[in-house]
A and B are shown apart, each in its own frame.
Chain A
Amino acid sequence: MRERESVSSVSSASNVSSIQRTIDACKASGGKALVTFVTGGYPSMDFTAAVVEKMIDSGADVVEIGVPFTDPLADGPTIQAANMAAIYSGATVQGILGVVGTVRRDGYRSPIVLLVYTNSIYRYGTSRFLDECSEAGVDGLVVPDLPVEERAAFLNGTLDASKETGHVSDETRHSSDATRDASGPTHDASDVDSGGRPVLIPLVAPTTAADRIADIVSGCGGFVYCISTTGVTGVRRVLPEHLEELTAAIRARTHLPVCIGFGVGSGEDARAVCAHADGVIVGSAIVERIPRDAGTPGTEAFDSALSAVGRFVASLKSAIMRP
Chain B
Amino acid sequence: MSQQRLPSHFGEYGGMFVPETVIPALYELEEAFVGCLDDPGFHAELEYYNENYIGRPTPLYRADRLSDECGGARIYLKREDLNHTGAHKINNALGQMLIAKRLGKARVIAETGAGQHGVATATAAALFNLECVVYMGEDDIARQSLNVYRMRLLGAEVRSVSSGTRTLKDAMNEAIRDWVTNVRTTHYVVGSAAGPHPYPTIVREFQSVIGREARRQILAKEGRLPDAVVACVGGGSNSIGIFHPFRDDRSVKLIGVEAAGKGMSTGLHSAAINAGRKGILHGSLQYLMTDDDGQILATHSVAAGLDYPGVGPEHCYLHDTGRATYVTATDAEALSAFALLSRTEGIIPALESAHAIAYVTRLAPELGRDGVVVVNLSGRGDKDVQQVADLEGGISR
Q: Is B a genuine binding partner of A?
A: yes
Query: Does residue B17 face the partner (Cβ distance < 8 Å to A)?
Result: yes
Q: Across the interface, do A176 and B1 meet the contact criterion of CB distance under 8 Å?
A: yes
Q: Which of B8, B12, B24 contacts A207 (CB 8 A)?
A: B24
Query: Does residue B249 face the partner (Cβ distance < 8 Å to A)?
Result: no
Q: Across the interface, do A145 and B18 meet the contact criterion of CB distance under 8 Å?
A: yes
A164 vs B285: C-alpha distance when bound (angstroms): 13
CB neighbours (8 Å) of B1 from chain A are 148-149, 176, 179-180, 183, 212, 215
Q: Which of A84, A145, A175 has the most CB of B within 10 A?
A: A145
Interface-forming stretch among B68-76, B176-184, B257-265, B359-367? B176-184
Query: Does residue A308 face the partner (Cβ distance < 8 Å to B)?
Result: no
B317 to chain A, nearest CB (A): 7
CB neighbours (8 Å) of A76 from chain B are 177
Q: Across the interface, do B24 and A208 meet the contact criterion of CB distance under 8 Å?
A: yes
Query: Does residue A204 face the partner (Cβ distance < 8 Å to B)?
Result: yes
Q: Across the interface, do B181 and A230 meet the contact criterion of CB distance under 8 Å?
A: yes
A204 vs B21: C-alpha distance when bound (angstroms): 8
- Closest residue of chain A to B201 (Cβ to Cβ) is A172
Q: Across the interface, do A147 and B17 meet the contact criterion of CB distance under 8 Å?
A: yes
Q: Across the interface, do B283 and A232 meet the contact criterion of CB distance under 8 Å?
A: no
A216 vs B197: C-alpha distance when bound (angstroms): 19
Q: Across the interface, do A73 and B15 meet the contact criterion of CB distance under 8 Å?
A: no
Q: Across the interface, do B7 and A231 meet the contact criterion of CB distance under 8 Å?
A: no
Chain A interface residue count, Cβ-Cβ cutoff 8 angstroms: 61
Q: Assuming A93-B293, A124-B292, A175-B16, is B278 touching A164 (CB within 8 A)?
A: yes
Q: Across the interface, do A232 and B294 meet the contact criterion of CB distance under 8 Å?
A: no
Query: Does residue B277 face the partner (Cβ distance < 8 Å to A)?
Result: yes
Query: Does residue A80 face the partner (Cβ distance < 8 Å to B)?
Result: yes
Q: Across the interface, do A207 and B293 meet the contact criterion of CB distance under 8 Å?
A: no
Q: Assuming A150-B16, A209-B24, A227-B21, is B11 touching A169 (CB within 8 A)?
A: yes
A199 vs B67: C-alpha distance when bound (angstroms): 61
Chain B interface residue count, Cβ-Cβ cutoff 8 angstroms: 55
A231 vs B321: C-alpha distance when bound (angstroms): 39
Q: Across the interface, do A207 and B25 meet the contact criterion of CB distance under 8 Å?
A: yes
Q: Which of A118, A179, A231 contacts B17 (CB 8 A)?
A: A118
CB neighbours (8 Å) of B52 from chain A are none
A87 vs B3: C-alpha distance when bound (angstroms): 38
Q: Across the interface, do A122 and B16 meet the contact criterion of CB distance under 8 Å?
A: no
A150 vs B294: C-alpha distance when bound (angstroms): 18
A301 to chain B, nearest CB (A): 24
Q: Across the interface, do A161 and B279 meet the contact criterion of CB distance under 8 Å?
A: yes
A205 vs B278: C-alpha distance when bound (angstroms): 29
Q: Across the interface, do B8 and A122 meet the contact criterion of CB distance under 8 Å?
A: no
Q: Which of A69, A70, A172 contacts B7 (CB 8 A)?
A: A172
A170 to chain B, nearest CB (A): 7
Query: Does residue A159 face the partner (Cβ distance < 8 Å to B)?
Result: yes
CB neighbours (8 Å) of B42 from chain A are none
Q: Across the interface, do A70 and B296 meet the contact criterion of CB distance under 8 Å?
A: yes
Query: Does residue A27 face the partner (Cβ distance < 8 Å to B)?
Result: no
Query: Does residue B163 face the partner (Cβ distance < 8 Å to A)?
Result: yes
A117 vs B317: C-alpha distance when bound (angstroms): 23
Q: Assuming A145-B19, A175-B9, A175-B15, is B180 touching A230 (CB within 8 A)?
A: yes
Given known contacts A73-B177, A81-B163, A227-B20, what 15 new A-B pairs fall within 8 Å (CB)?
A67-B294, A71-B281, A93-B294, A122-B280, A147-B19, A168-B320, A172-B7, A172-B317, A175-B197, A176-B8, A183-B1, A204-B20, A207-B183, A209-B2, A215-B1
| 8 A-B contacts (beta carbon < 8 Å) | A71-B164, A161-B277, A164-B277, A166-B320, A175-B16, A206-B21, A207-B184, A231-B21
B residues apposed to A, CB below 8 Å? 1-4, 7-13, 15-25, 163-164, 169-170, 173, 176-177, 180-184, 197, 276-283, 285, 288, 290-296, 317, 320-321
A residues apposed to B, CB below 8 Å? 67, 69-71, 73-74, 76-77, 80-81, 84, 87, 92-93, 117-124, 144-150, 153, 158-159, 161, 164, 166, 168-176, 179-180, 183, 203-209, 212, 215-216, 227, 230-232
